[in-house]
Chain A
Amino acid sequence: MSAVTVDHSTDLRFAGMVASAICGRGMRRIVARPTLIMPVLLMPLIFVVSFTGAFGSLTRVEGYGTDNVFNWMAVYAAMQGAVFAGVGGASTTAEDIENGFFDRLLLTPGSRVPILVGTMAYSALRSTIPTTGVLLVSALGGLRLPGGPLALVTVYVATAGMASAFCLLGLAVVYRFRTMRSMILIQVCGFSLMFLSTGQVPLHFMNGWLHTVARVNPVTNVLRFARQGFLGDLTWSMTWPGLVALGAMVAVAGSLAAHQLRRLAA
């Protein structure tokens, strides 16, 4: 019995070491080449400045939900940044596949799960950079926190979750097609999902097919969860659907990535 227990704990420790090494390698790459993070940081900053500037008068329409456009758009821009961060994490693997490093990684003994977990953790950690950037710029523009500091926690949880989900989805595609170019598929998918949600206006502003699509889009629930502390107090009824949506997206994308990784390694 004791021998079995020792084996399990050793396996777990080894898996943890592999995952943290992969995550650490990604973060060290950012430190070594800061230009890698620039697009991930710049795009959401452009979004928050453009959307708040261009659509500022949306707050004058009755029922918008806030009189401060930064309180609506900041979360949306941060989520866009998280999608970029997630896809960027998967792109690192595409680069590794193209230059042969990934084949060496697959020669290591043990489970493949830590490879997925490590890359996902790297993406989640990476997403904190655009999220922080967007929140700082929005704070300069007048962002308020009616829900208190917990509002910030929900944004970081939501963006880390979105980055994880899109990283795993990106990995599923990368493991299947083995090229950097395939990442454009996920980029388009992420961009479209964000636009087809309540990113810029509340659900009751929409009509026709967009209303139907946005209502069933899981990103809408994640946005509702992440945005609640910027519009008022945090409530459980706004929280749990967002967490379920995030969990479901990570689970589905994770299953796809694991399946494709098993095929690749076989």
Chain B
Amino acid sequence: MRINITGVFVDDQQKALRFYTEVLGFEKKVEIPFGEDVWWLTVVSPSEPDGTELLLEPSTHPAVGPFRAALVEDGIPAASFAVDDAQAEYERLVAKGVRFVQAPAEMGPVVVAVLDDTCGNLIQICEQRATE
């Protein structure tokens, strides 16, 4: 078994596509219309085009609202992405107008930061430091 797709619920799929590609830097992999204003929509990392796809899933199910509100209230990210340099990514994204709820902080073997994806989710970026 392999993990080929994981997903986040987004308020507006096309807005999310713009944020995840133009701002975060992912690339669109699949876009299949699924009815009116609904798509099967995935993005991948340009450094791993055949890697795990991230599904940008519509947040229309009534359970999504309260579920996500509770997570965001406690600052819990919906997904976590690996970066080589958390501080550099933070500065790059802040310059693009991204709002961080948690600036990069060193916590043991990792440096993590949490940003708002403007589509209803918090996203963590995580730099794994080499351990001696």
| Chains A and B come from one and the same complex | no
Q: Show the binding face of A for B, using Cβ within 8 Å.
A: none
